[in-house]
Amino acid sequence: MTLDADRTRTFVQVTWDESVVPALTEYVRIPAKSPAFDPDWREHGHIDRAVTLLVDWCKARPIAGLRLEVVSLDGRTPVILVEVPGHREETVLLYGHLDKQPEMTGWGEGLAPWMPVRRGDKLYGRGVGDDGYAVFAALTAIQALDEQRVPHARCVVLIEACEESGSYDLPVYVDALADRLRSPGLVVCLDSGCGNYEQLWSTTSLRGLVNGVLTVEVLTEGVHSGAASGIVPSSFRILRQLLSRLEDERTGAILPRDFHAERIPPARIAQARAVATALGSEVYDRFPFVPGMRPVHDDPLELLLDNTWRPALAITGAAGLPLPGDGGNVLRPQTSAKLSLRLPPTVDAERAARRLKEILEADPPYGARVTFEAPGSGSNGWDAPPTSPWLLESVNRASAAHFGKPAMFHGLGGSIPFMSMLGERFPQAQFLITGAMGPGSNAHGPNEFLHLPTGVKVTACVAEVLADHYHAE
């Protein structure tokens, strides 16, 4: 039996309206910040509250044979594991996460991170699209198949609570649950984004990441700037010098070749060219530039490659700097900056982290005390294996059925640590990495929202792919 697209979309729409959106609304209210941003997450209990909300919703799904377990290994964040028996034993793994980024400042009037607000087709609140909707979409897609008695493979839904901290708990769970995860033939990840809201987007590459804190110390205590300036080098100036070893401040280009891919695969360049043609200036128009501001340059193709296959540096935090109103005439003893270095998909993150430390700490100017501390060894990026013909056809057919346009395939500038790990462990698996976070949705920033019609359509498309997978050779 084949899946009826109109019937599928109607079922998914009703389920979202009556069940998913109310549950997502309550989920927004829970400040379930990832452990990196809430070290006392156990005592605060917010992650556990989010787990309970999602588990209660999942248990209420009338899906035959559904089995659910919250797995909590000692000292680790919990995971939700949902198993749905199939009409054949090959496993489909569907992935998402429930932990959230911190609040951030700059939310618009009437909006706040833990206050759900619906305005038209948009539901605002932290975590609603990154990645609160994932478990609801996954089970609704499975239920849509059952509702039409369309066969599917065995499905396992895995929801973690540590993704925004780098998924450091997840490898332990993948090992512990290996007999239940098995060796999936298809992985569906619902933690990605879309270039527009007009078609289904499938992510084919993700960048890696090295985070760390660079600290420059010049004095044991602050001193009067009038007495010391011109004699004692500024810690901020030294930090600027060190960053110039890494980045050309005029262009943003990363200088050491250690952090560049040996080559960008021609297939990825072709995909980026197709995306540039489809989006044009929307590649940069979607960002909230201040008046008069412009992007690095105006070539959409090169901007896409810069964002997906070239390294880039961001300073995401700083310490040692008082607020302007509190800053007296003092030459400060030290300055720290949190560095976020995005890496091309094929660059080894552990090697990059070691090299970054060497570059920044070598031969410190004026003999200053310079340290670069990077927790862990970074996260590797991911480059998808070649897409099987059945999956390529299925994704395009699903996009045409529910969006009215063929699918788009693109690289993503962010990281999903789980994908790199799965790619290494299951090299024969096929991947559908998709999502509903599109232009303006602002994951990690203020005013995060989920475009609800896109959430519905993505859910329906996942149902189509699950149905097609059952018949794939």
Q: Which residue segments constitute the domains of the chain, with CATH numbers given?
A: 5-206+381-471 (3.40.630.10), 208-264+305-373 (3.30.70.360)
What pLDDT is recorded for position 67? 98
- pLDDT > 70: percent of the chain: 100
| 455 in Cβ contact with 21 (< 8 Å) | no
Alpha-carbon separation of residue 107 from 13, 111, 124, 164, 279 (angstroms): 29, 6, 10, 20, 27
What pLDDT is recorded for position 473? 63
What pLDDT is recorded for position 373? 96
> Would the pLDDT of 1 be above 80?
no
- Stretch 22-42: mean pLDDT, rounded? 97
What pLDDT is recorded for position 132? 97
What pLDDT is recorded for position 377? 74
- pTM for the whole structure: 0.89
Q: pLDDT per residue over 79-90, tens digit each? A: 999 999 999 889
Alpha-carbon span 79 to 174, nearest angstrom: 10
Q: Minimum mean pLDDT among 120-124, 154-158, 223-227, 423-427: which range?
A: 423-427
What pLDDT is recorded for position 424? 87
Number of Cβ within 10 Å of residue 15's Cβ equals 22
Which residue, chain included where needed, has tokens 């979202």? 16
- Stretch 242-262: mean pLDDT, rounded? 97
Average pLDDT score over the chain:
96
> Would the pLDDT of 468 be above 70?
yes
- Stretch 427-443: mean pLDDT, rounded? 94
